[in-house]
Amino acid sequence: MGQLLTSTESLDISISKELEAQGVSRRNFLKFCTAITAAMGLPANMVAKVAETITSPTRTPVIWLHFQECTGCTESLLRATHPTVEELVLDMISLDYSETLCAAAGHQVEKSLNDSATLNEGKYILVVEGSIPVKENGIYCKIADRTALDILNDYGNRAAAVVAIGSCASWGGVQSSSPNPTGATGVHEIIKDKPVINLPGCPASPYNLLSTVLYYLTLGKLPQLDGKGRPRFAYGRLIHEHCERRPHFDAGRFARQFGDDGHREGYCLYELGCKGPETFNNCSSILYGDVGSGAWPVGTGHPCFGCSEEGVGFTKYIHEQAEIFTETPPAYYPGIADEKEMGVTPGSAAILGGIAGAAIGSGYMAVSRKNKLEAEVTEKEE
């Protein structure tokens, strides 16, 4: 007589079989579940529940609409690999309609869109990629002879919730840049009586979509959102707070030109226009691009241009310097500056930044201002 199995052990075995069928090792899968549970801000005892949700045969219906966009968010999701994020997302949901992925076309696919919305009224999740032009009654984007505005109002109001994926759907994105000729706008400006979750980014991180869907399916409720409709677990902190170059910022070590010594040494990119200090996203903590450590824009040496922040990405010039909200480095940051060379410690530099009362709070800024002032005083004295 075999031993009786606990429910956790039974779950473990069924998950292992499921994964084996998908060619994903159990070890990698559990590592992934642990990481994504932490990323959602859930306690460690939720890992088994998250794993169960991912492998559950129940599928939530999803309708995915494309409007004014480049399909970059879909491409980003489909190109994700560790461990097959796109498979996890697509396996957790029943993707009833997606213009990019549907094999059918024309009247046939439009019928499946309408059938799914009618059958699953009030139960499906609507994912919207792309901004919605509202000028001239929305004539600048039409699909199957209907404006994007009309389609969104129709399917948005019949959905359980709406996910605006990418900066275009969240707040208009690049199409809404001045003078915004089509009146490009975000989903939340149009759908008012349904929860709209914004997942901005250009493209949005596929992990943020996965975490949001997973959160909803695991707990049966939407994650806590911030004032801009973004999940707090993903957009609760500035990129600057967890950036791998932050110790250089605090120590006053900056790249001043692309390709200069500082740039090659991996110094802070603030002077090259990095918008990390005013952009809320988790790129610096979960990384981005899915091609290994350091593979996110700032990691590769390009300043963050604030693609996910309304009023920053596609609004401010790329070279324009960001506003600093976090002047002083967290106490737990290690000091990396050569104190003799810099003539100031990271801590004292930050304090000087605060004393200077400048909008720019970096120690470097304070030190360079101090040096300039001293030079001016010496000049006058002479």
Confirm or reject binding of residue 245 to ligand SF4 (CB under 6 A): yes
Q: If binding means CB under 6 A, how many residues of this protein chain bind ligand SF4? A: 14
Quickly tell me which residue has 């992925």 as its tokens: 101
Q: Which is nearer to ligand SF4, 83 or 289 (CB)?
A: 289
- Between CA 329 and CA 350 the distance in angstroms is 7
Q: Which is nearer to ligand SF4, 325 or 376 (CB)?
A: 325
With CB under 6 A as the contact rule, which of the stretches 29-37, 69-77, 108-116, 274-282 interacts with ligand SF4? 274-282
With CB under 6 A as the contact rule, which of the stretches 95-103, 132-140, 267-275, 365-373 interacts with ligand SF4? 267-275
Q: Which is nearer to ligand SF4, 186 or 277 (CB)?
A: 277
Quickly tell me which residue has 């690049």 as its tokens: 174
Q: Which residues are CB-contacts of 10 (< 8 A; sequence separation ≥ 6)?
A: none
Residues in the chain: 382
- Between CA 366 and CA 369 the distance in angstroms is 5
Q: Which is nearer to ligand SF4, 141 or 269 (CB)?
A: 269
Of 80, 274, 312, 367, the one binding ligand SF4 by CB under 6 A: 274
Both tokens of residue 252?
A: 């006053």
With CB under 6 A as the contact rule, which of the stretches 25-33, 65-73, 219-227, 265-273 interacts with ligand SF4? 265-273
- Between CA 372 and CA 370 the distance in angstroms is 5
Of 196, 269, 307, 349, the one binding ligand SF4 by CB under 6 A: 269
Confirm or reject binding of residue 243 to ligand SF4 (CB under 6 A): yes
Quickly tell me which residue has 């990095």 as its tokens: 274
- Which residue number is nearest to ligand SF4 in terms of Cβ? 276
Of 268, 286, 344, 349, the one binding ligand SF4 by CB under 6 A: 268
Of 246, 282, 287, 316, the one binding ligand SF4 by CB under 6 A: 246
With CB under 6 A as the contact rule, which of the stretches 155-163, 167-175, 270-278, 311-319 interacts with ligand SF4? 270-278
Would strands 196-199 and 161-165 be described as parallel, antiparallel, or unpaired?
Answer: parallel
Confirm or reject binding of residue 234 to ligand SF4 (CB under 6 A): no
CB of 322 to ligand SF4, least distance (A): 7
CB of 277 to ligand SF4, least distance (A): 5
CB of 236 to ligand SF4, least distance (A): 16
Q: Which is nearer to ligand SF4, 184 or 366 (CB)?
A: 366
CB of 359 to ligand SF4, least distance (A): 14
Q: Which is nearer to ligand SF4, 175 or 308 (CB)?
A: 308
Note whether 266 and 286 are within 8 A (CB): no
Confirm or reject binding of residue 240 to ligand SF4 (CB under 6 A): yes
Confirm or reject binding of residue 239 to ligand SF4 (CB under 6 A): yes
Which residues, in sequence order, are bridge partners of residue 75?
none
Return the C-alpha torsion angle 300, 302, 308, 313, nearest 10. -170
Cα 81 to Cα 37, 296, 352, distances in angstroms: 18, 15, 45
Note whether 141 and 182 are within 8 A (CB): yes
With CB under 6 A as the contact rule, which of the stretches 105-113, 123-131, 217-225, 245-253 interacts with ligand SF4? 245-253
> Footprint of ligand SF4 on residues 299-338 (CB under 6 A)?
304
Site of interaction with ligand SF4 (CB under 6 A)? 239-240, 243, 245-246, 249, 268-270, 274, 276-277, 298, 304
